[in-house]
């Protein structure tokens, strides 16, 4: 039995209603857990005063400089915590298996471990992708981490460091997947752990990996380097499934939901007898008379038609990834999205993965050397211009990097002839 | 002192030991999926292997009882393996269609709503809030609980034109991220500086550098080094508060809640978009924030009635235009909707295109 519960009239109102209630969960914990009793007390005070009552500090584990989010209560009376059993309530950020797969045993083991060393409260998962083991005293941080570490789990990132990464479910269960997302994630992160565990970068750096341009892990907007699956050849077609789609949806739906929403007008419906056999055209019969035709050279791999006709249309066979750099949230220049810097690279062989790893390392190094303190990669590019970034990491310019060329003349162009020469050489080579 | 244990720097673990065997066997070899009913996905691999996924909502912050309950359901009704989505939904995989209905029942009976697939309103991605952040203006899990109670039917049914992703953030840093509808704290008054604290706590150059509009200056106050804020310049973003706790930005009355719409992460149809401001000034009304729920439901209802199949929030607004969005939702349009940040003229109508 734990100590007596505090009155929580406001939190109690979050116990009704059909959605699972975290308050009910906390109360269940509080039956034999003093930390949960006092956590509820402090949370109620926050609800009442509309004020957060945590402050940071410095707590860590031996050998690492980050990964623990320290929380000390600020709610004090005569210098004593009002809720002493939750006066220290730190979080351990732990990296999950990529794709967030768990066996029931792993869930139970984690829960048991955290009930022993911490509050028992676990968030699956934080927005950056960590398992957040919430609620630990300073004294218990080390033993909790040691046990998790012995189970094969490692600390995630916090502070000015490489952060925990995320990949979509991808190859494990999605036909849109264009590369092995988990392998790419583990290659890049596990080769750069020093920058995660011993924070010394100008600011945070995030990698994210999405198997296709549906970008289910939000890599363009939320990561400094986004790796997104794509393909170079024609969309693959499956006539049986295309006919099934047509049989249930009909011509109207095919025209409005599929053809009509293609952003680049790459789709059309043709009489089978008139369907093109040219290179770069895929076409699939949807009934005995008509075929859906895709002009692959003008398809921007937006995924829409593949989403609407699953299985009937699939990514091509010559798969790889696109890479975008510089996505971030609001601070300080406003949110920015990543910019396309590598339109296509293969990601199949060991050497391909090694190349991705080298590129990642180059980008981190350039960031480490050139960003100002507390500046994200996107902000740095805003300041120095994309071309200086490309020069720095050794990437050649490509018209896929822009939406349109410059519309102002404010540039010194005395190197024009040399640049033309370079372009011609690249085109020839 | 006892010798400290060196960490084993093992990094990201291999997912294979924790992955459903059918997913492992057909890794990278899936060829088809369908959506048999809300909350259920069907996938087929090249080999002919089939798998059904049942998705359910959770509260994200889970106590031991909840975690063990979810694990027990995995063992009794599924095949011992689960995965989580980025929005804290749990997914159970089964290879026998007959297991689907009992699994759905077990989840509903234990209080985990089944849904969140395809064109539903999925679980709201949320942040830390009062429970664990050191700078929050409001709570996160509570806001989400209150809203998901309101949107429960939209989670368990799939009746929207396309998927709807929501996020909440308890400060303008927006950890919750871009979304079709994002609910974000919006401060309206400059920080009140607690000068007594500044001299002790604050790294003054860091704070000065953090301000996006250079509104903070070092100053001497009562003979002690402190800071001052040019209140005319200050845009109340709160960026100075994390590095400098004496910069009290949170205010029970003047910290309001704003609603943003039309964020999209995917590249489907249009390029990804950021969400845009549509409403602000809503009260931070714990524990259930009813005013926020009203506006969110109003927007969702208009979107549901007016958008065409496959149009995300942003695609729909792009088609009907912003004037009609404000007209249809009945939300007031104010001078604050007109951007004045760097590059803002790109957001102005530089054409004679008008809808009547
Ligand atoms: C000082 C207070 C801060 C605290 C306590 C805090 C806490 C957190 C936590 C716990 C998460 C989720 C982490 C995870 O999933 O593992 C998070 C995510 C995030 N934070 Fe913060 N944060 C703080 C400051 C900031 C600042 C200053 C920024 C931006 C400049 C920021 C931007 C973000 C973003 C964008 C995410 C989402 C990340 C993603 O999904 O990529 N946070 N924050
Ligand atoms: C089975 C494989 C999956 C398929 C076929 C799939 C399909 C899609 C499609 C079609 C879209 C874009 C919709 C549109 O804008 O038209 C999308 C978006 C999204 N998916 Fe998935 N998805 C899958 C798995 C997942 C998983 C496992 C997650 C989360 C862990 C996820 C999270 C998201 C999110 C957050 C978005 C929204 C991005 C945005 O805001 O635009 N998806 N998905
Ligand atoms: S990003 Fe693409 S490959 Fe990955 S889960 Fe989403 S739809 Fe599938
Ligand atoms: S994937 Fe290509 S063809 Fe299909 S809708 Fe998008 S741009 Fe058009
Ligand atoms: S949105 Fe702001 S207040 Fe909320 S968790 Fe993130 S940093 Fe903290
Ligand atoms: S709230 Fe924002 S704008 Fe105002 S002083 Fe602080 S950092 Fe500057």
User: What is the DSSP secondary structure assignment for residue A88, as one 8-state letter?
Assistant: B
pTM here is 0.88
Using one digit for the tens of pLDDT, what is the confidence trace for B115-140?
999 999 999 999 999 999 999 999 99
Contacts across the A-B interface (CB distance below 8 Å): 360
Give the Å distance between the CA of A230 and the centre of ligand 1: 29
The nearest CA of chain B is from the CA of A238 a distance in Å of 10
* pLDDT at residue B22 in the model: 98
Q: Any alpha helices (H) in A135-230, and if so which ranges?
A: 138-150, 181-190, 193-197, 219-222
Give the Å distance between the CA of A216 and the centre of ligand 2: 5
Nearest to B287 among A13, A173, A220 (CB): A13
The token pair at A249 is: 């949806």
The residue contributing the CA closest to ligand 5 atom 2 is: B171
Q: How confident is the model at residue B245 (pLDDT cuts 50, 70, 90)?
A: confident
Instruction: Enumerate the residues of chain B whose CB falls inside 8 A of the CB of residue A221.
Output: 177-178, 263, 265, 272, 274
Q: Which residues 217-236 on chain B approach chain A with CB closer than 8 angstroms?
A: none
- In degrees, rounded to 5, the angle at the alpha carbon of residue B216 between the alpha carbons of residues B245 and A334 is 85
Nearest to B68 among A103, A108, A134 (CB): A108
**Distance between alpha carbon A49 and the CA centroid of its chain, in Å?**
34
* pLDDT at residue B207 in the model: 86
Nearest to A14 among B72, B142, B172 (CB): B142
Average pLDDT, chain B: 94
Give the Å distance between the CA of A190 and the centre of ligand 4: 35
The nearest CA of chain A is from the CA of B104 a distance in Å of 15
Q: Is B59 on the interface with A (CB under 8 A)?
A: yes
Ligand 2 pocket test target in A165, A173, A216, A327 with most atoms within 8 Å of CB: A216
Q: Is A23 helix (H, G, I), strand (E, B) or coil?
A: helix
Q: Is the CB of B173 under 6 A from ligand 6?
A: no
Nearest to A22 among B59, B137, B287 (CB): B59
Q: What is the DSSP string of A140-165?
A: HHHHHHHHHHHTT--B---SSSBPP-
Residue B191 confidence (pLDDT) above 60: yes
Q: How confident is the model at residue B222 (pLDDT cuts 50, 70, 90)?
A: confident
Q: Which residues 14-43 on chain B approach chain A with CB closer than 8 angstroms?
A: 14-15, 17-20, 23-24, 27-28, 30-34, 43
The nearest CA of chain B is from the CA of A124 a distance in Å of 5
Q: Which residue of B has its CA nearest to A103?
A: B81
Average pLDDT over residues B254-268: 96
Q: Work out which ligand 5 atom sits closest to the CA atom of B132.
A: 5
Q: Which residues 272-291 on chain A approach chain B with CB closer than 8 angstroms?
A: none
Q: Which residue of B has its CA nearest to A136?
A: B132
Q: Compute how many other C-beta atoms are within 10 angstroms of the C-beta atom of residue A120.
A: 28
Using one digit for the tens of pLDDT, what is the confidence trace for B16-60?
999 999 999 999 999 999 999 999 999 999 999 999 999 999 999
Q: Is B71 on the interface with A (CB under 8 A)?
A: yes
Site residues for ligand 2, CB cut-off 6 Å: A 168-169, 173-174, 176, 214, 216, 307; B 33, 41, 85-86, 162-163, 165, 264-266, 268, 312
The answer to whether B262 and B273 have CB atoms below 8 angstroms apart is yes
Phi (first) and psi of residue A287, to 5 degrees: -155, -160
User: What is the DSSP secondary structure assignment for residue A300, as one 8-state letter?
Assistant: -
Q: Which residues 227-256 on chain A approach chain B with CB closer than 8 angstroms?
A: 238, 241, 253, 256
Domains of chain B from N-terminus onward: 16-109 (3.30.70.3340), 129-188+252-338 (3.30.413.10), 192-248 (3.30.70.20)
Relative orientation angle of helices A377-384 and A350-370, to the nearest 10 degrees = 70
Domains of chain A from N-terminus onward: 9-150 (3.30.70.2500), 166-228+321-428 (3.30.413.10), 236-314 (3.30.70.20)
Q: Is A97 on the interface with B (CB under 8 A)?
A: yes
Mutate to test the interface with A, among B6, B34, B61, B275 (most CBs of A within 10 A): B61
Higher pLDDT, B100 or B343: B100
Residue B1 confidence (pLDDT) above 80: no
Tell me the CA distances in angstroms from B339 to B196, B276, B282, one per residue in order. 36, 10, 20
What distance in Å separates the CA atoms of residue A299 and residue A262, rounded to the nearest whole number? 8
* pLDDT at residue B2 in the model: 62
* pLDDT at residue B205 in the model: 79
The token pair at B37 is: 């009913």
Nearest to A50 among B58, B133, B286 (CB): B286
The token pair at A324 is: 């975008």
Tell me the CA distances in angstroms from B226 to B6, B146, B196, B230, one per residue in order. 42, 41, 8, 14
Instruction: Enumerate the residues of chain A whose CB falls inside 8 A of the CB of residue B237.
Output: 330
Mutate to test the interface with B, among A29, A131, A172, A337 (most CBs of B within 10 A): A172
The answer to whether A370 and A381 have CB atoms below 8 angstroms apart is no
Which of A163, A145, A164, A152 is CA-nearest to residue A59?
A145
The bridge status of strand B30-37 relative to strand A121-124 is unpaired
Give the Å distance between the CA of A305 and the centre of ligand 4: 5
Any bridge partners for residue A339, and if so which? A325
Q: Is A408 on the interface with B (CB under 8 A)?
A: no
* pLDDT at residue B201 in the model: 64
* pLDDT at residue B221 in the model: 84
Mutate to test the interface with B, among A207, A218, A316 (most CBs of B within 10 A): A218
Q: Which residue of A has its CA nearest to B61?
A: A123
Q: How confident is the model at residue B220 (pLDDT cuts 50, 70, 90)?
A: confident
Give the Å distance between the CA of A158 and the centre of ligand 1: 9
- Return per-residue pLDDT of chain A as tens, 429 residues: 689 999 999 999 999 999 999 999 999 999 999 999 999 999 999 999 999 999 999 999 999 999 999 999 999 999 999 999 999 999 999 999 999 999 999 999 999 999 999 999 999 999 999 999 999 999 999 999 999 999 999 999 999 999 999 999 999 999 999 999 999 999 999 999 999 999 999 999 999 999 999 999 999 999 999 999 999 999 999 999 999 999 999 999 999 999 999 999 999 999 999 988 899 999 999 999 999 999 999 999 999 999 999 999 999 999 999 999 999 888 778 899 999 999 999 999 999 999 999 999 999 999 999 999 999 999 999 999 999 999 999 999 999 999 999 998 999 999 999 999 999 999 998
Q: What is the DSSP string of B141-179?
A: HHHHHHHHHHHHHHHHS--SSS-B-EEEESSTT-TT---
Q: Is B353 on the interface with A (CB under 8 A)?
A: no
* A217–B71 CB contact, under 8 Å: no
The nearest CA of chain B is from the CA of A376 a distance in Å of 13
The nearest CA of chain A is from the CA of B171 a distance in Å of 11
Q: Is B127 on the interface with A (CB under 8 A)?
A: yes
Q: How confident is the model at residue B199 (pLDDT cuts 50, 70, 90)?
A: low
Q: Which residues 132-151 on chain B approach chain A with CB closer than 8 angstroms?
A: 132-139, 141-142, 145-146, 148-149
Q: Could you say which ligand is closest to the alpha carbon of residue B165?
A: 2
* pLDDT at residue B203 in the model: 66
Q: Is the CB of A300 under 6 A from ligand 4?
A: yes
Q: Is B197 on the interface with A (CB under 8 A)?
A: no
């Amino acid at each position: 039995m734990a100590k007596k519960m505090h009155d929580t009239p406001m939190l109690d109102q979050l116990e009704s209603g059909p959605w699972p209630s975290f308050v009910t969960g906390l109360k269940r914990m509080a039956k034999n857990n003093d930390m949960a009793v006092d956590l509820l007390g402090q949370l109620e005070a926050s609800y009442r005063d509309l004020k957060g009552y945590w402050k940071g500090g410095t707590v860590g584990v031996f050998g690492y400089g980050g990964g623990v989010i320290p929380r000390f209560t600020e709610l004090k009376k005569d210098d004593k915590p009002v809720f002493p059993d939750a006066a220290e309530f730190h979080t351990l950020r732990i990296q999950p298996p990529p794709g967030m797969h768990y066996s029931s045993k792993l869930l139970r083991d984690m829960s048991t471990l955290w009930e022993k060393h911490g509050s028992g409260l676990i968030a699956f998962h934080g927005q950056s992708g960590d398992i957040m083991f919430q609620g630990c005293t300073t004294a218990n941080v080390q033993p909790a981490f040691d046990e998790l570490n012995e189970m094969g789990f490692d600390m995630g990132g916090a502070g000015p460091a490489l952060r925990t990464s995320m990949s979509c479910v991808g190859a494990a269960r999605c036909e849109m997947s264009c590369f092995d997302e988990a392998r790419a994630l583990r290659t890049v992160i596990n080769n750069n752990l020093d920058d995660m565990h011993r924070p010394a970068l100008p600011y945070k750096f995030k990698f994210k990996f999405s198997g296709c341009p549906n970008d289910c892990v939000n890599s363009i907007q939320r990561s400094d380097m986004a790796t997104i699956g794509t393909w170079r050849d024609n969309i693959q077609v499956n006539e049986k499934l295309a006919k099934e789609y047509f049989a249930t949806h009909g011509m109207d739906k095919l025209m409005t939901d599929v053809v009509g929403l293609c952003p680049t007008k790459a789709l059309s419906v043709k009489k089978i007898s008139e369907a093109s056999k040219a290179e770069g055209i895929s076409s699939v019969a949807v009934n005995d008379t008509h075929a859906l035709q895709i002009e692959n050279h003008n398809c921007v791999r937006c995924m829409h038609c593949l989403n609407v006709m699953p299985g009937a249309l699939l990514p091509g066979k010559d798969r790889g990834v696109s890479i975008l750099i510089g996505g971030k949230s609001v601070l300080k220049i406003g949110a920015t999205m990543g910019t396309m810097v590598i339109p296509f690279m293969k990601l199949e062989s060991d050497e391909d993965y090694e190349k991705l790893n080298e590129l990642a390392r180059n980008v981190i190094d350039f960031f480490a050397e050139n960003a100002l303190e507390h500046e994200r990669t996107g902000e740095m590019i805003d300041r120095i211009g994309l071309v200086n970034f490309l020069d720095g990491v050794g990437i050649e310019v490509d018209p896929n990097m822009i939406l349109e060329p410059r519309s102002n003349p404010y540039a010194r162009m005395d190197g024009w002839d040399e640049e033309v020469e370079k372009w011609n050489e690249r085109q020839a080579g | 002192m006892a010798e400290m244990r060196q960490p084993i720097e093992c990094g990201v673990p291999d997912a294979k030991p924790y992955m459903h065997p059918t997913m492992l066997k057909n890794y990278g070899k899936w060829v088809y999926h369908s959506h048999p009913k809300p909350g259920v996905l069907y996938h087929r691999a090249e080999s002919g292997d089939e798998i059904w996924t049942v998705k359910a909502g959770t509260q994200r912050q889970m106590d031991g009882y909840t975690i063990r309950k979810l694990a027990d359901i995995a063992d009794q009704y599924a095949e011992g393996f689960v995965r989580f989505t980025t929005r804290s939904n749990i997914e159970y995989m089964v290879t026998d269609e007959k297991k689907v209905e009992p699994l759905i029942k077990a989840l509903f009976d234990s209080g985990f709503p089944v849904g969140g697939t395809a064109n539903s309103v999925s679980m709201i991605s949320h942040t830390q809030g009062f429970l664990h952040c050191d700078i929050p203006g409001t709570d996160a899990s509570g806001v989400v609980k209150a809203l998901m109670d309101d949107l429960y039917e939209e989670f368990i049914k799939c009746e929207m034109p396309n998927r709807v992703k929501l996020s909440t953030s308890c400060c303008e840093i927006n950890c919750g991220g871009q979304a079709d509808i994002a609910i974000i704290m919006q401060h309206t008054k400059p920080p009140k500086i607690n000068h007594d604290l500044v001299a002790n706590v604050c790294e003054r150059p860091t704070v000065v550098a953090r301000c996006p509009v250079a509104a903070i200056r070092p100053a001497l106050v009562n003979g002690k080094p402190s800071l001052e804020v040019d209140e005319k310049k200050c845009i109340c973003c709160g960026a100075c508060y994390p590095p400098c706790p004496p910069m009290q930005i949170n205010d029970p009355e003047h910290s309001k809640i704003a609603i943003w719409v039309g964020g999209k992460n995917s590249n489907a149809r249009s390029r990804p978009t950021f969400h845009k401001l549509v409403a602000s000034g809503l009260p931070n009304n714990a524990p259930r924030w009813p005013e926020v729920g009203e506006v969110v439901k109003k927007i969702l209802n208009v979107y549901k009635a007016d958008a065409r199949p496959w149009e995300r929030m942003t695609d729909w607004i792009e088609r009907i235009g912003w004037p009609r969005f404000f007209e249809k939702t009945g939300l007031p349009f104010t001078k604050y909707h007109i951007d004045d940040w760097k590059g803002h003229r790109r957001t102005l109508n530089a054409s004679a295109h008008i809808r009547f």
